[in-house]
Amino acid sequence: MNNYARIPLLLSMFVFISSTSFAVDFDPDDLGDESNGKNWLTHGRTHSEQRYSPLNQINVDNIANLGLAWSVELPDARHLVSTTLAIDGVLYVTGSFSVVTAIDARTQKVLWRYDPKVVDHAGDTLRVLWGTSRGVGYWDGKIYVGAGDGRLIAVDAKTGEEIWSTMTVEPGSFYYITGAPRTFNGKVIIGNGGTEMGPARGYVTAYDAETGEQAWRFYLVPGNPADGFEDNAMRMAAATWTGEWWKHGGGGNAWNAITFDPEYNHIYIGTGNGSPWNRTIRSPGGGDNLFLCSIVAVDADTGKYKWHYQTVPGETWDFNSAMDIVSVDLKVKSRTIKALMHAPKNGFFYIINRLNGRLLSAKPFAKVTWATEVDMKTGKPIEVEGSRYESGEVLMWPGPLGAHNWQPMSWNPEHQLMYFTVHDIAGYYNDTKIRKADYQASGHTFEAGVSFFDNDVPVDSAINSIVAWDPITQKPAWQVSTPPGWHAGTMATAGNLVFQGLGNGQFIAYQGDTGEKLWEYDAKHGISAPPITFELDEKQLIALPVGWGSGMAMLGGSMGAQHGWIYGGHPRRLLVFALEGQAALPLTPGPRFVKPVDDPAFEIDAELAAAGKDHWVENCAWCHGPAVVASGGAPDLRGSGIVFDSNAFRKIVLEGQRIGRGMPKFPNLDESHLNALRHYIRQEARGALSKKTDVAQAN
């Protein structure tokens, strides 16, 4: 190039740099590029959330040679449920309480660790905060962290230094963040959770990715009409509510799924259940209650309503449409359908036209007894009479845990199959004990307006499988049963492989088109996070955080406890796999189980124990498990000597002695509550000791 030619080029480069704010190595289009497998740039790898990597160096022919290449210990982590991001050779792993660790994949060194100090910021929210975090977002040199206490924080991807921080929820309210922020068009968007923790009104907020300034907010359920509506969408939604729903918040919180569609410039929001669950309380005259349990499309630039599709009108079972929303170009004969695919808790697999929200198909993928089918004329489910527990208790499939929950699904565009974990697990609903007429949730305790956490969850409560769902036939192409328990999300690759980690610690690869199990690795600890894959120095690597976590580790009872991932018992790690990987896993203890303790001199008062059970369900079961059966996310109090010591018990429960370790304080309780709780805990411990078969032997 001669000097004359260089001048205009330099000039144009100058214009380029000064007129745009992003770094030279950042191309916003990469987040939508399905063909480039080098990085994993956003929660679902690309905007489409397909979790499909075009990398095929690891494939069906050589998968037998896949082995552990290296691992990094994550000593402070508990729940590891997050999707790792891989950006230019750096891995960003999100642990519990939104702590982010950046690891150089070349040197395997920790580059930085960012701790947003969630416990210090949480206040009373700590009482409802599990510390789970499903990951971070990325845009132009910045990593975005949704902190459990409600802050959205931008940190420098290179240094981990905080750049900006903004509070996305009203301080003192009942919202918390577990979801991964998503980025698009120079913005970052986040929702929140908290529908069963007090009156909650769901919304999502988009911020300027550079400055943290609010760009727009979209509410998901209407507020009090007397205060005026934010927009016409809220006016329309309000016509589907009855009574004084705003006093109960309404719900609809978007705690997980948000998908950006660059083609139509839409944001698809997956909305949550009602607050409280029980519709007879929040909307006593009935009604669909928009936009609960829906996919809502809004304009990505303005946040203005475009369309919605509601999967569960008049939601009353803790059903959600917060499960991931995957954007797909579905090829049917010679046509290409611009579709969204969605397999929410309610057990139906939905295909929706993403331009206009029209329902194209909905068929059950699991055991479903609450509805017989979805009527294609109205787009609404045909409910089975009695499912609404309006005339008493109901046992039905699925239940609040869902036939498919937040565990991400993945799509293979070549075979046109969607891979996801399915749980056939029932729900038991009974509101006869609830004072419905004057019901008002007090906040920061578990209050769903229906009994749910009263009893343990038996070991074999769920029949599980991984399914390769064919959306064209709306039937499984293959389905392989997985052991009882609660398993993680999947990843599909162009190597014709599907990867999934199981609650029992097995990491498995299946052949994508046939479901043949090709490879298995024992990670020696429960897997709750989905794997990712990326390329470094022309080598394909697979990264997987290993560390039992999520709601199943908190309120899964015996079902969650069965693998022996006792609280604090096993190291948390990031494992990285490669062809010819030969690394050994560091020494790991085997499964460990709680050993209940008893003092025969402690006389259990049945009446006190019964009162204690109610306090337990409202305040403690959320983390320590139903019927005092913990499943790993918090200590099993049947084995805790502290319960015998009323002073030590008070210091922890009332005075907050262990707050720094995530054990909240309960200023709403007094000595008499504590006494009742101790009688209940002792009763359950003694009960467990008397039927030894229920509790595995201590190590």
Residue with Cβ nearer ligand HEC (619 or 683): 619
Instruction: Tell me the window of 201-209, 214-222, 425-433, 653-661 that interacts with ligand HEC (CB under 6 A).
Output: 653-661
Q: Which span (199-207, 421-429, 461-469, 663-671) binds ligand HEC, by CB under 6 A?
A: 663-671
Verify binding: residue 97, ligand HEC, rule CB under 6 A.
no
For residues 134 and 132, give the distance between their C-alpha atoms in angstroms, rounded to a whole number: 7
Greatest Cα pair distance in the chain: 96
CA distance 209 to 269: 19
Q: How many CA atoms lie within 13 A of 487 on its CB side?
A: 30
- Decide: is 662 part of the binding site for ligand HEC (CB under 6 A): yes
Establish if 155 lies at the interface with ligand HEC (CB under 6 A). Answer: no
Interface region with ligand HEC, contact rule CB under 6 A, candidates 219-227, 273-281, 367-375, 629-637: 629-637
CA 196 to centroid of chain Cα atoms: 15
Residues linked to residue 618 through DSSP beta bridges, in sequence order: none
Pick 350 or 453: Cβ nearer ligand HEC: 453
Q: How far apart are CA 613 and CA 603, in angstroms?
A: 17
Residue 136's nearest CA partner among 194, 175, 188 is: 188
Question: Binding ligand HEC by CB under 6 A: which of 43, 151, 182, 624?
Answer: 624
State which residue, 389 or 622, has the beta carbon closest to ligand HEC.
622
620 contributes a contact to ligand HEC by CB under 6 A: yes
642 near ligand HEC, rule: CB under 6 A: yes
Q: Which of 235, 331, 517, 661 binds ligand HEC (CB under 6 A)?
A: 661
- Catalytic residue among 124, 261, 288, 318, which? 318
Between 209 and 677, CB nearer to ligand HEC: 677
Return the range that interacts with ligand HEC (CB under 6 A); candidates 38-46, 150-158, 267-275, 635-643.
635-643
- Helix and strand totals (H; E) in the chain: 10, 39
- The answer to whether residue 653 forms part of the interface with ligand HEC (CB under 6 A) is yes
Round to whole Å and give the CA distance between 683 and 689: 10
State the DSSP H helix or E strand holding residue 477, giving kind and residue range, or none if neither.
Answer: strand 475-482
Q: In whole angstroms, what is the distance from residue 229 CA to residue 219 CA?
A: 10
How far from 443 is each of 429, 619, 666, CA to CA, in Å? Answer: 21, 11, 12
Does residue number 640 form part of the binding site for ligand HEC (CB under 6 A)?
yes
Q: Give the residue, chosen from 666, 676, 685, 695, that forms a contact with ligand HEC under the rule CB under 6 A.
A: 666
CA 350 to each of CA 235, 379, 474, 579, 583: distance values in angstroms, whole numbers, following the listed order: 27, 11, 9, 37, 42
Residue 628 engages ligand HEC in binding (rule: CB under 6 A):
no
Q: How far apart are CA 394 and CA 62, in angstroms?
A: 50
Segment contacting ligand HEC by CB under 6 A, of 206-214, 228-236, 243-251, 637-645: 637-645
- Choose between 217 and 658: whose C-beta lies nearer to ligand HEC: 658
634 binds ligand HEC (CB under 6 A): yes
Give buried/exposed letters for 483-512 (b at 16+ CB in 10 A, else e). Answer: ebbbbbbbbbbbbbbbbbbbbbbbbbbbbb
Q: How far is the CB of 653 from ligand HEC (least distance, A)?
A: 5
42 binding ligand HEC? (CB under 6 A): no
Is there binding between residue 450 and ligand HEC (CB under 6 A)? no
Answer yes or no: 329 catalytic: no
Out of 85, 129, 269, 366, the only residue in the binding site for ligand HEC (CB under 6 A) is 129
Window of 42-50, 336-344, 364-372, 658-666 that interacts with ligand HEC by CB under 6 A: 658-666
Q: Tell me the torsion sign for CA atoms 362, 407, 419, 265.
A: positive
Q: Does 692 bind ligand HEC (CB under 6 A)?
A: no
Structure tokens at 93: 């792993």
Q: Give the count of residues interacting with ligand HEC (CB under 6 A).
A: 22
Measured N-to-C along each axis, helices 671-690 and 606-615 cross at an angle, to the nearest 10 degrees, of 110
Q: Is position 664 an interface residue for ligand HEC (rule: CB under 6 A)?
A: yes
Among 424, 658, 659, 687, binds ligand HEC (CB under 6 A): 658
Question: What letters, b where the CB count within 10 A reaches 16 and e where it falls short, cover 640-679?
Answer: bebbbeeeebbebbbeeeeeeebbbbbebbeeebbbbbbb
Active site residues: 318
Q: What residue ranges bind ligand HEC (CB under 6 A)?
A: 127, 129, 619-620, 622-624, 634-635, 637, 640, 642, 649, 652-653, 658, 661-664, 666, 677
